Amino acid sequence: MPDAAALTIEDLVAGYGQVTVLQEVTLAARPGTITAVLGANGAGKTTLLRTISGLVKPRAGRILVDGIDLARRRPEDITRAGVAHVPEGQGVVTELTIEENLRLGGLIRSGGAARSAALADAYQRFPLLAERKRRLAGTLSGGERQILVIARALMAAPRVLLLDEPSLGLAPRMVTQVMDLVRRLRDDAGLTVLLVEQNARSALAIADHGLVLNLGKVVAAADAATLSADVALRRHYLGF
C-alpha cells in the first residue's frame, strides 16, 4: 500500500554516546499538515529533529520521507531529499547581507536558474527581506532573523520543514507573525511541518496534530484539538 504520510518515523532510537535519548519514537505526518512536537526541557524534541536531519545517527528505527528510508543517510543527502531543518536560535550570519544569507540556503540546489528562482520566490513571499536585502543580517531584530532563517531554509525547496522553537525569545507580536507564517507555509505551499515548541498553546492553535514527548518517549499523540482539550495532559506536560 502506498504510504500516505510525507514523514513517517518508526521505532526511532537515538542518543549521544552511552546515553539513549529517543526511545522507540513513532509518528506519522500527513502531507501538508503541521505536527506540534511538545514536551518539557530535555524531553528529546531537539534530538528528534537532529536525528531526522542526519546530525545524530539513529541506533534503530526508520525515517521515511515519501516512503524512502533516510535513516543513517548524510545530512546533505537528507536535505536534497526534501527535508529542511531550522535549528533553535535564529542563527543568521550577522556579517553577511540578507541576500547572502538567503543564497547560502540555495547552495544545495544545482543550477543557477533554480537558485535565482528560489531567491525571487523568497522576495515575493517576504517583502520585508526584499526591501532590506543589501543590509547586514545583524541589523535585523530577533523576529526578523527568525523569518530570515525560515526563508533561508525554504531556498532548498523542501517538502518537509523541521522547526526548532521558532518562537523562543520573541516578543508576543512576533510570535503571532511567526505562527502565521508557519500556517501559510502549510496552506499555501503545502509543506509538511514538524513544529517543536515550548509554547504549546500557540503551537496547538495552528497544528493539525500533536505529539508529546517525555524522557524520550511518546506519551501522547492525537489531533491538536484533542490534546488542547486534555486538562490532565496540559497540566502534566504542556504547561498551560
Ligand X SMILES: Nc1ncnc2c1ncn2[C@@H]1O[C@H](COP(=O)(O)OP(=O)(O)OP(=O)(O)O)[C@@H](O)[C@H]1O
Binding site for ligand X (CB under 6 A): 16, 19, 21, 39, 41-47, 198
Tell me, what amino acid is at 181?
L
Which does residue 226 bind out of ligand X, Mg ion, none, counting CB within 5 to 8 angstroms by kind? Answer: none
Residue 43 binds which entry of ligand X, Mg ion, none, CB below 5-8 Å type-dependent: ligand X
The answer to whether the CB of 7 falls within 8 A of the CB of 64 is yes
What is the SS3 assignment for 211? strand
56 or 148: CB nearest ligand X = 56
All three cell numbers of 200: 504549546
Cβ-based nearer residue to ligand X, 117 or 219: 219
CB contact at 8 A, 25 and 61 = yes
Contact 83, 158 (CB under 8 A): yes
Q: Which is nearer to ligand X, 129 or 193 (CB)?
A: 193
Of 99 and 164, the one with the shorter C-beta distance to ligand X is 164
| Among the listed residues 8, 33, 35, 46, the single contact to Mg ion using CB under 5 A | 46
Question: Considering the complex, what minimum distance in angstroms separates the CB of residue 164 from Mg ion?
Answer: 6
Nearest distance, CB of residue 81 and Mg ion, angstroms: 23
Give min distance, CB of 121 to ligand X, in A.
Answer: 30
Beta strands in the chain (DSSP E): 7-16, 19-29, 34-38, 60-65, 68-69, 83-86, 160-164, 192-196, 209-214, 217-223
Residues making contact with Mg ion (CB under 5 A): 45-46
